[in-house]
């Protein structure tokens, strides 16, 4: 989602200038201050991105923009539509697939510790989890979504059915069994298909190698060392505890219109190591900075997070003469190249009621974290508020 959005931004290409003489120290200071001011967040554009909330698409939005040019913080909308209370700027939210970055970080830590080899078959560590047809899938192929394992068939159904069963627990092993009962989508390493099942298997790998639960492994290796006190992995608990802005899904009403259905409480066990995280914009911003600086994953394996495999995306029904899209996912992150050639790395996430994004330039000269309480958070169309935020922050 964030990939296609950021790629659509129109950013002017820099002018090609001849190299000037080396400036005097005073001139260098002036140039540095000028560059920082030029690269500062645009408060007017960011305020405009949040104007008018709540609306039909968004009930609340929380935004943090940072970088060498300065910072900007903003919030808009309501904490809940019943009372109309102002949105909580530091509210907790379901962060969806940004969970994958935390999972990847732990696996890459273990690789740096030589407790797992990224080019080794997963079956070496989990001999009883995957059937023989997936015996050659490697740890690295799970991380960058080139395994060829198809999606699980559970949970299934439209929103109404999923909502009716929202408090039920889905066992991760059942997800793996459902997916691997089917034949591979492609030979491992030859295509890329972004699917949660890859990170579900990685959750089992983390548990096997750390001899503890997935939740405790992430907490011990990432959350507690970084002081991410508002970030948690709730497991089977459907509650969103602590201060938070409630999430809603827009559904058809009996009168032919629409109404908002509260989806804040939801058992996210089906997402597990692929999407179970609860966090805040402040915690995700801190994590993003620490990760990119090399404070979470050692440099020996961190490079894998900024390396996209040279393979095409998987297309089950390619059109006549249609050229396959190139891969966009690394081991944990997504790469988006702006029109001026700048790469932005990050990860988006979507759970019913909540859309999330954390993204940055590799040098952290611009960072963006948002939580948007979207009323169709898992729809095919990008949330308009989210699009305005990214355009204002990264454009």
Considering the domain boundaries, does residue 309 fall inside one?
yes
Domain count across the chain: 1
Do 135 and 120 contact (CB within 8 A), yes or no? no
Out of 22-31, 84-93, 153-162, 353-362, least confident range: 22-31
Q: What percent of the chain has pLDDT over 70?
A: 90
Inside any domain, residue 151: yes
Predicted confidence band at 10 (pLDDT cuts at 50, 70, 90)? very low
For residue range 176-188, list pLDDT tens digits in order.
Answer: 999 999 999 999 9
| pLDDT-based confidence at residue 6 (cuts at 50, 70, 90) | very low
Lowest mean pLDDT among 302-306, 372-376, 391-395: 391-395
Supply the CATH number for residue 223's domain: 3.40.710.10
For the entire predicted model, the pTM comes to: 0.91
**Residue 7: is its pLDDT beyond 70?**
no
Range of the structural domain that residue 333 is part of: 2-7+42-315+324-394
Asked whether residue 381 is assigned to any structural domain, the reply reads yes
Q: Is 215 a domain residue?
A: yes
Q: Which position has the token pair 């645009």?
A: 42
Question: How much is the average pLDDT of 113-129?
Answer: 98
For the stretch 321-345, pLDDT in tens is 788 899 999 999 999 998 888 899 9
Name the one residue in this structure whose structure tokens are 């330039």. Answer: 361
Question: pLDDT tens digits for 189-241?
Answer: 999 999 999 999 999 999 999 999 999 999 999 999 999 999 999 999 999 99
pLDDT number for residue 319: 72
Mean pLDDT, to the nearest integer, of 292-309?
97
Query: What pLDDT band is residue 35 in, cutting at 50, 70 and 90?
Result: very low
User: Quick one: which H or E segment has residue 262?
Assistant: strand 258-262
- The yes-or-no verdict on residue 37 having pLDDT over 90 is no
Measured over the CA atoms of residue 108, residue 109, residue 113 and residue 116, the dihedral's sign is negative
* Residue 39 clears pLDDT 90, i.e. is over it: no
Q: Looking at 31-40, 175-184, 346-355, which range is the least confident one?
A: 31-40
Predicted pLDDT at 29: 53
> Does the residue 69 lie in any domain?
yes
pLDDT in the model for residue 321: 73
Residues β-bridged to residue 244: 92
pLDDT at residue number 104: 98
The chain-wide mean pLDDT, for the chain, equals: 91
**DSSP-derived pairing of the beta strands 343-351 and 354-361:** antiparallel
**Higher local confidence (pLDDT), 373 or 11:** 373
Nearest to 330 by CA among 354, 356, 303: 303
How far apart are the C-alpha atoms of 27 and 136, rounded to whole Å? Answer: 58
pLDDT surpassing 50 at residue 8: no
What's the pLDDT at 26? 54
8 A C-beta contact, residue 328 and residue 347: no
Burial of 134 (0-12, 13-18, 19+ CB in 10 A): buried
What is the three-class DSSP state of 192?
strand
DSSP for 299-365?
A: HHHHGGGG---S-BBP-SSPPTTPPPPBP-B-SS-EEEE-TTS-EEEEEEEEETTEEEEEEEETTSS
Tell me, what's the pLDDT at 341? 87
> Which pLDDT band holds residue 395 (cuts at 50, 70, 90)?
confident
Q: Beta 248-252 vs 258-262: how paired, if at all?
A: antiparallel
* Residue 78 domain flag: yes
Residue 103 and residue 274 in contact, taking contact as beta carbons nearer than 8 Å = yes
What is d(CA 239, CA 318) in angstroms, rounded to the nearest whole number? 41
- Give the pLDDT score at 38: 60
pLDDT in the model for residue 340: 83
pLDDT for residue 262 is more than 50: yes
Say if residues 45 and 32 touch (Cβ distance below 8 Å).
no
Average pLDDT for 103-124: 98
Domain membership of residue 175 (yes or no) is yes
Given a cut of 80, is residue 3 above it in pLDDT?
Answer: no
Torsion of CA 116, 122, 127, 129, to 10 degrees: 120
Residue 180 belongs to some domain of the structure = yes
pLDDT tens figures, 129-156:
999 999 999 999 999 999 999 999 999 9
Q: Between these two residues, 25 and 295, which has the higher pLDDT value? A: 295
């Amino acid at each position: 989602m964030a990939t296609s959005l950021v790629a659509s931004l129109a950013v002017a290409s820099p002018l090609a200038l001849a190299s000037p003489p080396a400036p005097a120290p005073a001139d260098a200071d002036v140039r540095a201050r000028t560059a920082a001011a030029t690269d500062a967040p645009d408060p007017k554009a960011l305020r405009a991105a949040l104007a008018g909330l709540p609306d039909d698409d968004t009930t609340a939005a929380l935004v943090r923009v940072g970088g060498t040019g300065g910072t900007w913080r903003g919030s808009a909308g309501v904490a809940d539509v019943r009372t109309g209370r102002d949105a909580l700027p530091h509210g907790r939210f379901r962060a969806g697939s940004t969970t994958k970055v935390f999972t990847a970080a732990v696996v890459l830590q273990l690789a740096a510790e030589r407790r797992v080899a990224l080019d080794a078959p997963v079956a070496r560590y989990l001999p009883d989890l995957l059937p023989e047809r997936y015996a050659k899938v490697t740890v690295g192929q799970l991380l960058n979504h080139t395994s060829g394992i198809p999606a699980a068939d559970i949970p299934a159904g439209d929103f109404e059915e999923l909502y009716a069963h929202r408090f039920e627990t889905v066992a991760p092993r059942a997800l793996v069994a459902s997916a691997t009962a089917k034949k591979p989508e492609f030979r491992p390493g030859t295509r890329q298909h972004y699917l949660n099942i890859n990170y579900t298997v990685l959750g089992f790998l983390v548990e096997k190698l750390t001899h503890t639960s997935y939740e405790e492994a992430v907490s011990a290796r990432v959350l507690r060392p970084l002081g991410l006190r508002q970030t948690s992995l709730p497991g089977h608990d459907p509650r969103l505890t602590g201060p938070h802005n409630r999430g809603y899904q827009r559904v058809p009403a009996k009168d032919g219109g629409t109404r908002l259905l509260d989806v804040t409480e939801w058992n996210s066990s089906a997402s597990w190591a692929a999407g179970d995280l609860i966090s805040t914009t402040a915690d995700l911003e801190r994590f993003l900075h620490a990760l990119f600086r090399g404070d979470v994953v050692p440099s020996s394996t961190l490079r894998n997070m900024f390396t996209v495999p040279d393979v095409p995306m998987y297309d089950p029904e390619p059109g006549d003469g249609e050229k396959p899209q190139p891969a966009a996912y690394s081991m944990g992150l997504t790469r988006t190249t702006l029109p001026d050639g700048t790469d932005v790395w990050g990860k988006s996430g979507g759970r019913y009621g909540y859309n999330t994004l954390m993204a940055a330039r590799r040098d952290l000269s611009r960072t963006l974290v948002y939580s948007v309480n979207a009323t169709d958070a898992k729809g095919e169309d990008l949330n308009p508020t989210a699009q305005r935020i990214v355009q204002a922050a990264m454009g």
